[in-house]
Amino acid sequence: MAALTREEVLEIALLARIHLDDDEVDRLQGELSSILEHMEALRAVQTDVEPMTHAVPMALRLRADAVEPSLPIEEAVGQAPDRADDFFQVPHIIKSGK
Amino acid sequence: MTWEPVIGLEVHVQLATRSKCFSGSATLFGAPPNSLTDPVVLGLPGALPSFNRRALEMAITLGLACGCEIRARSRFARKHYFYPDLPKGYQISQYDEPLCEGGAVEVGGRAIRLRRIHLEEDAGKNIHQAGGRLSQVDLNRAGVPLIEVVSEPDIFSAAEAAAYMRELRELVRWYDISGGDMEKGQLRCDANVSLRPPGGSDLGTRTELKNINSFKFVAEAIEHEITRQAAILDEGGQVVQETRLWDADAGTSLSMRSKEEAMDYRYFPDPDLPPLEVDGEVLARVTSRLPKPRSAYRSSFTAAGNLSDEHIDYLTADRARAERYATVAGSEDGRLIANYMLQDPDGRLEAGHLKRLAELQRTATVSGNGAKQIIVELLRRGGDPDRIKDELGLAQVSDAAEIESIAADVVAANPSQAASYRAGKTALLGYFVGQLMKKSGGKANPQLASDILKKLLES
Amino acid sequence: MSLHYQPVGELVRLVRTRQLSAREVVAAHLARIAALDARLGTFLHIDEAGALRRADEIDAELARGSDPGPLAGVPIALKDILVTRDVPTTAGSRILAGWIPPYDATVVERLRAAGAVLIGKLNMDEFAMGSSTENSAFFPCRNPWDLERVPGGSSGGSAAAVAAGLCAASLGTDTGGSIRQPASLCGVVGLKPTYGRVSRWGVIAFASSLDQVGPLARSVADAALLFEVIAGFDPRDSTSIDQPAPRLSGALTAGARGLTIGRPREYDLPGVDPEVKRAVDAALALLADHGARIRDISLPNSAHALPTYYLVAPAEASSNLARYDGVRFGRRPEGASTSLLEMYRRTRGAGFGPEVKRRIMLGTFALRSGYYDAYYRKAQQVRALIAEDYRRAFAEVDLVASPTSPTPAFRLGEKADDPMAMYLADVFTLSCNLAGLPGISVPCGLTAGGLPIGLQLVGRPLDEATLIRAAAAHERAAGPAPHPPEMAAS
């Protein structure tokens, strides 16, 4: 595997919601392909083990169902790049929504 | 050609915890916008989730009630997509190792199998005015705990789907897991619908129907989709696998196809949340607190043999009521008390008072009407049945001699009606009973009055 | 008396006994920062007013006869990845420029409660991604030993500020070596605790299963003191280990006798600078002279640490950085709001630097359906093997030793064009994070050119005490580490 096509780079950039200039796409195509090539060695390693998803084995601790104070509204929305009254404001998605 | 609909439902249930799934903000409905947030809900840099024990207990409760297998170890997974009402850019959900698997929900005597029940967090609300360029986002709902109940494609009609939804609603309300109010978004339904030739065993191409937000629309939307697919297949066409949104005003659905194609949720186990372990002790605790199912109360109330179906439906409509009635079910006063409870939907009357009142009515100390009046007073201002009976003078006169005396007066005062009665107009008995009741100030035992008047008129 | 190279313990003593006021101590450090930091670039934000205010509070408490805590009046600085209420926090990134957090990280709360005076936020590689602090969105940080060279990264500011005496100690974070490697390059002590020892509440996440907060200081004792203050269970972090912070004063004097230290034979790599190898050999020989046993061990999966790390960390990072979307905080560029999609793409395209974009792309790739099993899941399996290697090794040894960095500090710009070359800087530090183990870097000499070299020791889970014990024994035997040549004021 290893080498990424330009299309794949653009697909990944879309999934990650990152706008790339043309030369960024080109550069990343080369860099990512090169990095991925180094990862290829892993495929050959024999791994008949459980994936190590957590560094330290532990069970999830449970929190009591008690209400704690929320942030004041102004602290919650006060630094939004765009707002309308106490709402966050964003451009509307053009196609039909959820 | 007739086609056989095959339907699977994915239902999201909002859990009635006090605080959110992964943080302590409250879960109130209708609060001012963005007043129920904290660093975790907002997805602020550096915030970390900590899991609400009550959400787990509620999920296990429903799992046990449906006969699911509860996994000893399940995991939270991150489900990634970008949308303004999803602050972290991912939803904490469950993927590979959900909390519950298997189980079933009984609908109309049939068991609709469940595939899984899993835990996840709710997103906020994206509000858009039609025609506007902008949306407003309220994150009050973000982080509220949900469970997703996924059925197997075991449902074969729109009507059955609606019945399944109603049954789920009753279940979540019975076990105090959720209010189950679809209009408040406490219960949300997505339907997977496909058609196949009758008697077929393979599944046809399915579409996913979303935005069904009231019980009324469950059957309507699914029926519409069945019709739509049938029309395509009848013409030899192919149903496209897609997601469609129900538009209740238009009574049709719209395709969301292009948005769905881009969805690669990139699930992976959430590194901020170690595996969720449900050991024997937790299971035992939840099991020991598990209320008896509605079916158990229905059976025992039916077995008493003294109640109508309407009574039983009413008495088992909610668990508090069923538990109250259970203390008297099968007793000689069971039917009387059931009737009293019909007047008291909020369950405010004390069990002791109900029993006393039944005794008063059974011994004809008060009439049926008298008992009704006592209940009205009890609900209005409290007190107890005996005191109210005395205050309102509701004690019936059941002394035969006294009634005979009044009866004689009434017959004597209405000679022409008496004559008509004796001539064959027996319906006039009611008139005489009325007159006697009036003369006795409503205190006469009406059944006794009727018997005595009849005897007198016919003698 | 020059205050800026005093040990933490000494500063506390002077302040508590009222020989110096906290204000004097803090003011002296602020003055030194003002004189030197323009040339070093260690601070992204200096909270002068807040620091002096806090210093005055400490002095007032002492005047009343109460005890402000074990770090009373000590000027400490924080890597800008730690969230500080009301004080700007950027994680070294343009996308968070101007963000003022509404809450404090747990470690910040604990330092404050111990009487520390927090003087500012330190420069770093953007979102902790890098090994040189050249990826800072704002300006590079320079090594006080040679201003043309990098201080290491990603906690470059944390290491350089401590080395240059701009603060008494600092906090950094370590995901693949980001405390230890800059500590090594700047000639200071850097400790990465066992994963789960120190709360990650309020630590801007890079790779959640690898990140840990730790101290950088000029002595083992100072590092130990800071660690004791910040470590310990925190219910707000579900990955926090349910144990209190260990007491380490005994370990500081226990000595090296009886310890067995292993040297992995797989670490004998061609890319290791010969001066580095010699210094590390000498450091271990010194420990041997003081009673430690040195022996060879094998960590067979060592070669896989780098590709494993560069799949696991970016995957988690791509997920953790999805929240930077221009909706609730941070920057949205002008003209970015033509549609929802454009808002996301332009905000993130403009706000993230090249290394961050590279890793997000890599991580997104590794998690894609169809690739997840072959890449991310596979890497997590190899990770388990690496952890198992250490478990086996720790049956025979108490500590694993190596150089912290294969080379001393390199020149600014030297590795900027080749991402893989930069990634190789962490080849000795990565496994420790993958396995969740505690690790420490201690200064063990200078190159002929006067650049610091670091010795790394890695220990059993929760066994920071043995790390401290060996590190302190080496420090006692080798003598206190030198300070960089004094810089002229800018």
Amino acid at site C317 = A
CA angle C462, C464, C470 (to 5 degrees): 140
To the query of whether residue C178 is one of the catalytic residues in this protein, the response is yes
Question: Is A54's CB within 8 Å of C327's CB?
Answer: no
A97 confidence band (pLDDT: 50, 70, 90): very low
Is the pLDDT confidence value at A98 over 50?
A: no
Shortest CA gap B83–chain A (Å): 9
A96 confidence band (pLDDT: 50, 70, 90): very low
Amino acid at site B241 = Q
Is the pLDDT confidence value at B397 over 80?
A: no
Identify which of C65, C52, C51 has the alpha carbon closest to the alpha carbon of residue C17.
C65
Identify which of C174, C175, C168, C201 has the alpha carbon closest to the alpha carbon of residue C101.
C201
Distances (CA, A) of B302 to B17, B235, B305, B438: 34, 51, 6, 40
Pick among C323, C339, C380, C381 to test the B interface (most B CBs inside 10 A): C323
Burial label, C420 (beta-carbon count in 10 A; 0-12, 13-18, 19+): middle
Across chain B, what does the average pLDDT equal?
A: 92
Residue B258's pLDDT is 53
Q: Are C351 and C327 in contact (CB under 8 A)?
A: no
Across chain C, what does the average pLDDT equal?
A: 96
Q: How far apart are CA B356 and CA B339, in angstroms?
A: 14
Question: Is C238's CB within 8 Å of B82's CB?
Answer: no
Q: How far apart are CA C183 and CA C156, in angstroms?
A: 8
Residue B440's pLDDT is 86
- Is residue C117 in a domain? yes
Q: How far apart are CA A88 and CA A93, in angstroms?
A: 15
Q: How far apart are CA C45 and CA C28, in angstroms?
A: 17
Over residues C26-54, the pLDDT tens digits come to: 999 999 999 999 999 999 999 999 999 99
* Chain A adjacent subunits, 3+ CB pairs under 8 A: B, C
* Residue in chain C lying closest to B139 (CA): C328
Mean pLDDT across B328-349? 88
Which residues of chain A are within 8 Å of residue C331 when distances are taken between CB atoms? 81
Please tell me whether residue B189 adopts helix, strand or coil conformation.
Answer: strand
Ramachandran assignment for B266, one of left (phi > 0), alpha (psi -120 to 50 degrees), beta (any other): left
Distances (CA, A) of A50 to A53, B453, C312, C430: 9, 90, 15, 20
What tokens were used for B106? 């009984």
Residue C490's pLDDT is 62
What tokens were used for C262? 């292993």
Mean pLDDT across C460-479? 97
Q: Are C402 and C264 in contact (CB under 8 A)?
A: yes
Residue A2's pLDDT is 55
- Is residue C353 in a domain? no
Over residues C284-313, the pLDDT tens digits come to: 999 999 999 999 999 999 999 999 999 999
Pick among B25, B34, B36 to test the A interface (most A CBs inside 10 A): B34
* C179 vs A96, higher pLDDT: C179
Mean pLDDT across B395-418? 86
Question: Is A62's CB within 8 Å of B51's CB?
Answer: yes
Select from 1.20.120.140, 1.10.10.410, 3.30.450.20, 3.40.50.1820 the CATH code of B400-458: 1.10.10.410
Shortest CA gap C367–chain B (Å): 5
Mean pLDDT across A19-44? 91
- Is residue A97 in a domain? no
Length of chain C: 490
The secondary element (H helix, E strand) that includes residue A50 is none
Residue written as tokens 């190159």? C447
- Is residue C287 in a domain? yes
Amino acid at site B440 = S
Q: For chain C, how big is the Rg over CA atoms in Å?
A: 21
To the query of whether residue C405 is one of the catalytic residues in this protein, the response is no
Please state the domain extents for chain B.
Answer: 4-286, 292-391, 400-458
Amino acid at site C339 = S
Q: How far apart are CA C341 and CA C187, in angstroms?
A: 47
Burial label, C105 (beta-carbon count in 10 A; 0-12, 13-18, 19+): buried
Mean pLDDT across B27-56? 97
Residue C406's pLDDT is 96
C359 confidence band (pLDDT: 50, 70, 90): very high
Return the DSSP state at B159: H
CA angle B6, B12, B13 (to 5 degrees): 130
Residue written as tokens 């630094």? A79
* Residue in chain B lying closest to A92 (CA): B134
> Any CB–CB contact under 8 A between C238 and chain A?
yes
Residue C28's pLDDT is 97
Amino acid at site B78 = R
What tokens were used for B199? 């008697």
Q: How far apart are CA B137 and CA B123, in angstroms?
A: 10
Amino acid at site C239 = T
Of B26, B56, B258, the CB nearest to A62: B56
> Any CB–CB contact under 8 A between A87 and chain C?
no
* C374 vs B397, higher pLDDT: C374
Over residues C206-225, the pLDDT tens digits come to: 999 999 999 999 999 999 99
Residue written as tokens 């890599």? C362
Which residues of chain B are within 8 Å of residue C236 when distances are taken between CB atoms? 48, 50
Residue written as tokens 């791994």? A47
Over residues C394-443, the pLDDT tens digits come to: 999 999 999 999 999 999 999 987 877 888 889 999 999 999 999 999 99
Of C331, C352, C362, the CB nearest to A35: C362
Identify which of C206, C195, C177, C193 has the alpha carbon closest to the alpha carbon of residue C238.
C195
Amino acid at site C344 = Y
Residue A27's pLDDT is 93
Please tell me whether residue B382 adopts helix, strand or coil conformation.
Answer: coil
Domain count, chain A: 1
- Is residue C313 in a domain? no
Torsion angle of the four alpha carbons B230, B235, B240, B245, in this order, in degrees rounded to the nearest 10: -50
> Can you give the CATH number for the domain in which C219 is found?
3.90.1300.10
In chain C, positions 394-423, which contact chain A (CB-CB < 8 Å)?
419-420
Helix axes B280-288, B53-65, angle to 10 degrees: 70
Please tell me whether residue B6 adopts helix, strand or coil conformation.
Answer: strand
What tokens were used for B387? 């005191």
Is the pLDDT confidence value at C464 over 70?
A: yes
List phi, psi (to 5°) of C39: -90, -20
* Chain C adjacent subunits, 3+ CB pairs under 8 A: A, B
Distances (CA, A) of C429 to C221, C405, C423: 22, 8, 11
Residues C93, C132, C170, C178: which is the catalytic one?
C178
Residue B370's pLDDT is 86
List phi, psi (to 5°) of C192: -105, 115
Listed in sequence order, the residues at least 6 apart from B350 whose beta carbon sits closer than 8 Å to its beta carbon are none
Q: How far apart are CA C384 and CA C381, in angstroms?
A: 5
- For B398, other C-beta atoms within 10 Å of its C-beta total 17
- Is residue C341 in a domain? no
SS (H, E, C) chain C: CCCCCCCHHHHHHHHHCCCCCHHHHHHHHHHHHHHHHHHHCCEEEECHHHHHHHHHHHHHHHHHCCCCCCCCCCEEEEECCECCCCCCCCCCCHHHCCCCCCCCCHHHHHHHHCCCEEEEEECCCHHHCCCCCCCCCCCCCCECCECCECCCCCCHHHHHHHHCCCCCEEEEEECCCCCHHHHHHHCCEEEECCCCCECCCCECCCCCCCCEEEEEECCHHHHHHHHHHHECCCCCCCCCCCCCCCCCHHHHHCCCCCCEEEEEHHHCCCCCCHHHHHHHHHHHHHHHHCCCEEEEECCCCHHHHHHHHHHHHHHHHHHHHHHCCCCCCCCCCCCCCCCHHHHHHHHHHHHCCHHHHHHHHHHHHHHCCCCCHHHHHHHHHHHHHHHHHHHHHCCCCCEEEEECCCCCCCECCCCCCCHHHHHHHHCCCHHHHHHCCCEEEEEEEECCCCCEEEEEEEECCCCHHHHHHHHHHHHHHHCCCCCCCCCCCC
- Is residue A16 in a domain? yes
Over residues B244-295, the pLDDT tens digits come to: 999 988 899 988 765 445 589 999 999 999 999 998 888 999 999 999 999 9
Residue A94's pLDDT is 62
CB pairs under 8 A between B and C: 97
Of C103, C209, C369, the CB nearest to B271: C209
- Is residue C234 in a domain? yes
> Can you give the CATH number for the domain in which A20 is found?
1.10.20
To the query of whether residue C121 is one of the catalytic residues in this protein, the response is no
Residue written as tokens 């302040």? C15
Q: Tell me the pairing of strands B110-121 and B100-101.
A: antiparallel
Which residues of chain C are within 8 Å of residue B48 when distances are taken between CB atoms? 200-201, 236-239
C470 confidence band (pLDDT: 50, 70, 90): very high
Is the pLDDT confidence value at B428 over 80?
A: yes
Over residues B296-335, the pLDDT tens digits come to: 999 999 988 889 999 999 999 889 999 989 988 778 888 9
What is the span of the domain harbouring residue A36?
A: 6-44
- Is residue A88 in a domain? no
Q: Are B80 and C363 in contact (CB under 8 A)?
A: no
Over residues B72-99, the pLDDT tens digits come to: 999 999 999 999 999 999 999 999 999 9
Over residues A35-93, the pLDDT tens digits come to: 888 888 888 898 889 999 888 889 999 999 999 999 999 999 999 999 999 999 999 87
Single pTM value for the model: 0.92
Q: Where would I find the beta strands (DSSP E) of B153-267?
A: 187-196, 207-212, 243-247, 252-255
Of C89, C103, C203, the CB nearest to B39: C103
Q: For chain B, how big is the Rg over CA atoms in Å?
A: 30
What is the span of the domain harbouring residue C273?
A: 8-299+388-478
